Amino acid sequence: MKKTKLNLQTLVVLAMFAAISIVLVYLVHIPIFPSAPYLEYDPADVMIFLCSLTISPFWALILTVVVSLVQGLLISGFNLGIIMHIVATGTAAFVCGFIYRRRGTLVSAVIGLSAAALIATAVMAPMNIIFTPIYTGMARSIVVTLLPFPILPFNLIKFGANAVITGLLFKPVTLILQKTGAVSE
C-alpha cells in the first residue's frame, strides 16, 4: 500500500471526518447498561478509525485531538474526559492504522480494528481509576469496584461496536476516497 500524500482533497476528507465525528457525538447517545445510564455509546470514533485506515495513523491521532477539543468546547465542557478520550482513542486509532499499514490487507484491517478495541478498553481501566474520581468526586475505591462491571464491559462494547462499524464502512469509504484522489490505491 502506498503512502497517502497530503493534498487538498485529503485535507477536505480530514475536515469531513472531523465534522461527522462531532455531529455523531452530539446526536447519538445510547445508554448500554440501565444501571449506569451515564455510560453512553456514541459512534464518533468510527470516523477516527476510518481516518487511520484510509489516510494514516498520524492523521487519526491529530483528528482525535481536534475532535476531542471541539467536543469539549461545544458539547461536553472541558473536563478530564477529554484527556481520557485523546489517550484511549488516539492510542487505539494509531495501533489500528499501524497494524493495517504493515500489510494493507483486509485481514490486517480486521486485526488492527480488533487490537484497537482491546487496547482502548485496556487503556481506559487505569484512566478511569486515575481521572474519574477527580472529575466526578467519586471515591477511587468505588471506581475500582465498578471496573469489572460496568466500566470495562461498556468500553469493550463501545470500542468493539465502533470497530465493527468501521470494518463495514471501510471498503465503501476507501473506494469513494480513491475516486476523489484523496487516498491512493
pLDDT per residue as tens digits for the range 90-113? 999 999 999 999 999 999 999 999
How far the first Cα of the chain sits from its last, in Å, is 7
- Looking at this protein, which amino acid is placed at residue 172? P
Q: What is the pLDDT of residue 143?
A: 97
Q: Work out the percent of the chain whose per-residue pLDDT is above 70.
A: 97
Give me the domains of the chain, ranges plus CATH numbers: 8-28+44-180 (1.10.1760.20)
Q: How far is CA 168 from CA 76, 110, 179, in A?
A: 28, 10, 19
Q: Hunting for cell 478520550 — which residue is that?
A: 85
Helices and strands (DSSP H and E) totals, the chain: 7, 2
**How many Cα neighbours within 13 Å face the side chain of 128?**
21
Query: DSSP state, 29?
Result: -
Q: Which pLDDT band, with edges at 50, 70 and 90, does 160 fall under?
A: very high
pLDDT in tens, 39-58: 999 999 999 999 999 999 99
Q: What angle do CA 174, 111, 176 make, to 5 degrees?
A: 5
CA atoms within 13 A on the CB side of 93: 30
Report residue 181's pLDDT band, with 50, 70 and 90 as the boundaries.
confident
